[in-house]
Structure 1
Amino acid sequence: MTTRTLTKGQIGILAAAAIPMVATGAAGAYGTYTNIKAEFGRAETALGIVAAGEGLALVLALVMVGLTMLGQPSPAPVRIGLWAVPIAASAVGLALADTLTEAVIYGMSPMGMCVSAEGLGLLARRIVVHRTGVDMEAQRRNAATMQRLAYHRARAAKHPSKRVRWYSERISWRLARKVGVGDAELGVHLVQAQRNRMSAGADAALAGMLTAPAADAFDVVAAEAVAVAGPQPDAAPAVPAAPALPPAQPASEPSAAASAAGHGPDAVRELHDADADAQLLEAALRLNETALAETGRVVPLRTLQSELRIGQRRAQRIQAQLPKSA
C-alpha cells in the first residue's frame, strides 16, 4: 500500500480549517452550558447535559477517526450516533425553552458543538484516505451491497416461490445502482480502463492509416532485392508453359532467357505474349483499376500473387506492365 505525505501547504490549510471548527464547537458547548444553567440554576446539571450531548458527539467522532486510522470501518452504533446525538441535544434544548424564541436559540446552540465534532471527524477521515489511498467506509458499503446483491440474485434464480423470485429480481436491480457509489478508487480505475481502450483504438486507427504505404514500399524493395538475387521458383500452381525462348544470342548481348530469368537489365519489365500471361495481364488490369480507384496506387505484388495465384517473379513482370494512374 502506497503512503502519501501531506505537503506543508496542505497541512497549513487543514490547520486553518480545523481551528474555526474547534472554536465553533467550544462556543456551541458554552452556549448550551449557559442556557441549561439559566434554566436549572445548577452548573453541574448544565455540565452534564453538555457532556451527554455535544461531548458524546465529539467522542463518537474521535472513535470514528481512530478506527479509520487503524484501517477498520466504523460500526453501526457510531455512525448512527453521529446523526442521533445532535438531534437529541437539540430536542433537549427545545424541551427546556419557555417561549418560541428560546426554543429556536436552545435548539440551535448544541448544533455548534455537534457539527464541529462531525466536521473534524470527516476531515481526519479524508486525510487518512488521502495518505493511504484506502477508504474503509466506502469499502464497507460496497461489500455490504455486493453481499445483498449476491443473495438476491441467488434467490431470484433458485427460490421455489415465484413471488419471492419476482421481488428479489427487482431488489437486485436497485442494489446494482449502488455498486461502487462513493468509491473514488474504483472511479480512478474505470477512467484508466477507458483511457487504455481509447489509446488502443487510436493506435489501431493510426496503424491502419500509416502502414498501408509501407506495404507498397516493401513490395518495391522486395522486387529490387529479387532482381539482384536472381530468379525464385513460383510457389503457385503450375500454369501453361510459355512459348519456347528464341535461339541464344551472342555473349555480348543479354539473351531473352537471361532477361526472363531476371538477370538482364529489363528483367522485371519483360512479359511473354503467351495466352496464359495475356489472361493474367487482363485480370491484373482489372485489379489495378480497383486499386487505383481506392488507393491511388498500383496494385501491390502481394495482391497479384494471391488473386492470380502466381509466383513473385511473374507478379513482378505483370506489375511492370500496369499503368501507374487511372
Structure 2
Amino acid sequence: MKKQLSLLTFILMYTTSFAQVGINTSNPHTSSALDVQSDTKGLIVPRLTSTAVTSLSSSASEGLIVFDKDQKKFLGWDGTKWQNLGFEGGGSGSSLLTGTIFTQSFETGDSVNYTTAGFAPSSFNFTSGSTVTGDAPSSSSLFSDGTRGFGYSNNNSSGTNSYIEFNTVDASTYTNNITFSFDIAAFSIGSTSNGVENNDVVTIEVSTDGGANYNTKLTLTGGNSSTATNTRWAFSGSGIGTNSYSSSGITVASSSTATGSAITLTGTQAITKLSVTGIPNSSQLKVRIGTRNNAATELWVVDNVKLQAL
C-alpha cells in the first residue's frame, strides 16, 4: 500500500510540475498544455444543438469552444457572447451567424421551450389526426408537420388573448434578419356552420427585453371583412401573411371576396403561413403567439414554429 501511495504521489507531482499533456507524443510542445499529434485523425469537440448552445450561454467560461451541429459552425465564448470561429455567412468581416435559433413542432420528442399564459392557458391542447364528418373542413389534418399541432379553442368574448410564450433566447450573435414564422389553420369542430371571423385573431408579438414589453407586429383575423363570417381553412392552403419588424404592426385577412357565413377558404385565400422578418438580434429576445376565438367550436391550430436568422 505504501509503495502504491508513493507511486501515485510521484505521478501527481510529476504531472503538476510539468502541467502538460501529450497524446501520441512523449514531448508535448512547451507552449501547450495539451499537445495532440496525429497524421491520420482529428480532434472532436463537443457537438451541441443550437438550443443547447443558447442554454449554455449563462454558464459558459471565456474561451469555451463547441461545435453547433444545427449551424454547422465552430463557436467560441468570448466572455459575453458566442463568436463564429469560422467567420462564414455573416458578411465581410462579420462573425454574426445565420441558421435556426429554435424550432417547435409540438411533437412528443420535442424539447418544451414555451409556456402558455393569458386569458385561458388551459384551452391550449395538442391536436392530431384529422377532422371528421361534421367538422369543417372535414378530412383535414390537424397538424402541418410531423403528427401533432397545438390548438386553441375557447368561448372568449372578453377580447383578451391567450398566449404561447417562447423562452427568452440570446440572439446577439445572429444576423439582424431574424425571422419568426409558423403555420396556422382554422377549423369548425362539431359543427359545419361555425368558423373564425374578424374578432377571432392570431398575433405575432416580439419583445427585445425578455418579455417586459411586447410589440404586436402581425395580426391575422378570420373572415375577409365584416360581411364574411365563420371562415375556416386547412393547412393545405397557400396564403401568406408577413410583416417587417421595422414597420408598424399590421392586420392581414383572406383575400377572398366571398360574403356570408360558413365559408371554407382554399388556395391562396387560405392564409396558412405567418411571419415577421428583420427582428433585432437582441440578447433578450422573446416572441409569443396570441390567440382568441369566441366560440367553443372554433379551433385555431399552430404548428411548425421557427425562429431563424436568414
Higher strand share: 2
Higher helix share: 1
Whose radius of gyration is greater, 1 or 2?
A: 1
Q: Establish whether TM, by shorter chain, passes 0.5.
A: no
Q: TM-score range by the shorter chain?
A: under 0.3
